[in-house]
Structure 1
Amino acid sequence: MKDFVAALPKVELHVHLVGSASIPTVLELARRHPGRGVPTEEQALRDFYEFHDFAHFIDNYVKVDSMVRTGEDILALLLGLARDQAASNIRYSEVTVTPTAHLNKEMEPDELTETLTNARILAKRQYGVEFAWIFDIDGFLGKEAGPVTLDWVLNHRPDGTVGLGLGGPEIGVPREWFREQFAIAADNGLRCLPHAGETTGPQTIWAAINELHAERIGHGTSAIQDIRLVNYLAEHRIPLEVNPTSNIRTKAVAAIEDHPLPKLVAAGVPVVLGTDDPGMFHTTLNDEYLLCHEVFNFDRAQLAELASTGVAVSYAPEEVKKALLSEINAVLEG
């Protein structure tokens, strides 16, 4: 099965720039920007990446984020991500970037744009991975993050920008706070791609749909608690970006055997696999596919269907989608 998974061409639709950083990359950043609470020795950093709960994860994520201060830092992260994604046969990747995390430091708005543009070119040239961008509002910063993020996106977005996201904590951060920003984003041709239902119940997913007009939901695992919502997602073909290892590592789901992914798939909800923060969670997209085989007993056809769903619900160019779907079918039939 490992060979089959490795051969499947894939897209990745739920991966955060900062959380993607591998151990060597984070060590390099920690030594370049000391005194920010991130260990500078490998074993200590691995221990740092053992999370007690979601709040602990967010706290440590913010510490790592504080070290990503320059265009050089961002370029290092993105090329490391492209290298790692190529190893999982990922051809197209919608990377979530949080503008406020970088613009509040040592970077001018145009420098962020230029860095992302250069990274996109180099990722394709060096690793064969096509990057697209989702720019997310950082819920950790509260309501004020909405207008600031949207302003940067509308005035400085680089080529490959596909959507507006909403990340960070869900508790205490109602989705409706950002109704206006998502409406304006949609009017300007951007897709609405918020997180919801990772650490809160189905009501947050309903809010993302009704208030933000979400076209895909980041995580959404708590949907399983509301059969009406599950049926709605299936009927209206609203995809969930599901990240099993992430959910276990942050304790959003208690045990992998209890993960709702197989029930969501069985109910007809479009599900696409993601890694979320692969560097922090010690996972790859190949690992997520193998997990579905080993824990949920997905066979080759079901794994190929997950890959095909990812392609279909991505915002890749149609010619890219067509080629990838054809290749997935060829691998399945081979």
Structure 2
Amino acid sequence: MNLHDYIAGLPKAELHVHHVGSASPTTVAALAARYEGRTAVPADPGLLADYFTFTDFAHFIDVYLSVVDLIRDAQDVHQLTYAVAADLAAQQVRYAELTVTPFTSVRAGIPAEEFCDAIEDARLRAERDFGIVMRWIFDIPGEAGIPAADATLDIALRCRPQGLVGFGLGGPEVGVPRPQFAAHFASARASGLHSVPHAGESTGPSTIWDAIETLGAERIGHGIAAARDDVLMALLKEREIALEVCPTSNVRTRSVASLEEHPLPLLFAAGVPLTVNSDDPSMFSTTLCREYEIAAELLHLDEDGVTALAAAAVRHSFADAADLARITSEQIEYRDLAVRNPRAAPTIGDNRGIFDN
């Protein structure tokens, strides 16, 4: 078995994946066809690759919002959510925390209660049909400011879908200071939600410091700028604040010049807690499996090292104790099966023995 096949079969958790950004080209094109003449999004799946070519992070946000605009009723929400779950389950994702931005859908006219009911129904159906456990992180679209933060917090606390576990902050970082949302995150944390803001993707380490010091971040979305600050990396290691790293995304949004220049190896060498994720896989023409392959190449990992990354994602998730134990057991069993069957074991990379650390 080569490493590609090993990764494909490895039980995994996905912690940084956006609800709308995970919609397959087929799903996006079908939604675009439904609203043809009222959207710039192509209704031909073959044209979406060009449409999803971004000049910079700001352009990515504009394109992303044009796809968000295709979600116009609860039926659209349900269709997209269930399809995303099916795609994740096909990659052996056992547990996923989807970043969801209810504000944009509610602003477009979908009642908050209907939106939450739609994602919940899709979540429960997916768990029944595919065995995947999905949870929600409701995030503030930072570019929409305090009104969006007020609305997102209200939806989270008033509707409180059963699958909701976290409160986040997405969108552009430039011009969107993190401290302005401190009160919102304090209220969310007081209600039992975990703090998982984006920070340090397209800006410097100061944004990550703000996320930790003013928003109480327990994990950081992206956070790759931490590689520029030795003190910050030491703090992340000491406090076990994991970074949700998405290599292809960082290149496609031009936050990093190339995969070869990605700071993942530097962060890894410094002992910063890391998870590997796909972010907006359909928009970036990637998959979670592909992101693990990239990480394995950058870090020179074999199956033990790759399994360690997958185990870290489970460990840093907000899964309950039963799911944590179940998925971890599945990962160990899968790894041990490959070890017992040398013909099935991948042969590239070196054994760093980090799975047992």
> Per the shorter chain, which TM-score range?
over 0.9
Gaps of 5+ in 2: 338-357
Tell me the equivalent position of 2:345.
Answer: none
Contact 1:134 1:161 (C-alpha < 8 Å) held by counterparts: yes
**Following the alignment from structure 2 to structure 1, what is the Cα–Cα distance between the partners of residues 276 and 219?**
13
Aligned length: 334
Tell me the equivalent position of 1:226.
Answer: 229
**Following the alignment from structure 1 to structure 2, what is the Cα–Cα distance between the partners of residues 266 and 332?**
23
- CA shift, 1:299, in A, is 1.6
1:29-81 deviation per Cα after TM superposition (whole angstroms, max 9, x unaligned): 10112222111223322210111111111110011111111111111111111
Aligned with 1:280: secondary structure? coil
User: In the alignment, is residue 201 of structure 1 matched against residue 204 of structure 2?
Assistant: yes
**Following the alignment from structure 2 to structure 1, what is the Cα–Cα distance between the partners of residues 176 and 95?**
31
- CA shift, 1:143, in A, is 2.0
Tell me the equivalent position of 2:240.
Answer: 237
Aligned with 2:198: secondary structure? strand
Larger CA deviation: 144-153 vs 164-173: 144-153
Contact 2:265 2:298 (C-alpha < 8 Å) held by counterparts: no
1:78-114 deviation per Cα after TM superposition (whole angstroms, max 9, x unaligned): 1111111111100111011101111011311210121
Contact 1:4 1:331 (C-alpha < 8 Å) held by counterparts: no
The amino acid of 2:18's aligned partner reads H
Contact 1:13 1:241 (C-alpha < 8 Å) held by counterparts: yes
The amino acid of 1:186's aligned partner reads R
Tell me the equivalent position of 2:8.
Answer: 6
The partner residue of 1:261 within 254, 257, 264 is: 264
The amino acid of 2:172's aligned partner reads P
**Following the alignment from structure 2 to structure 1, what is the Cα–Cα distance between the partners of residues 198 and 22?**
17
Contact 1:243 1:274 (C-alpha < 8 Å) held by counterparts: yes
The amino acid of 2:24's aligned partner reads S
Tell me the equivalent position of 1:16.
Answer: 18
- CA shift, 1:164, in A, is 0.4
Q: How does 1:1-334 map to 2 (within 5 A)?
A: 1-34=3-36, 35-334=38-337
Scaled by the length of structure 1, what TM-score is found?
A: 0.98
**Following the alignment from structure 1 to structure 2, what is the Cα–Cα distance between the partners of residues 135 and 82?**
17
**Following the alignment from structure 2 to structure 1, what is the Cα–Cα distance between the partners of residues 190 and 45?**
46
Superposed CA RMSD in Å reads 1.0
- CA shift, 1:163, in A, is 0.8
**Following the alignment from structure 1 to structure 2, what is the Cα–Cα distance between the partners of residues 265 and 157?**
36
**Following the alignment from structure 1 to structure 2, what is the Cα–Cα distance between the partners of residues 329 and 262?**
25
Larger CA deviation: 193-202 vs 117-126: 117-126
The amino acid of 1:316's aligned partner reads A
1:142-173 deviation per Cα after TM superposition (whole angstroms, max 9, x unaligned): 12211111011100021111010000010000
**Following the alignment from structure 1 to structure 2, what is the Cα–Cα distance between the partners of residues 308 and 31?**
40
Gaps of 5+ in 1: none
Q: Which has the larger radius of gyration?
A: 2
- CA shift, 1:226, in A, is 0.4
- CA shift, 1:317, in A, is 1.1
Aligned with 2:218: secondary structure? coil
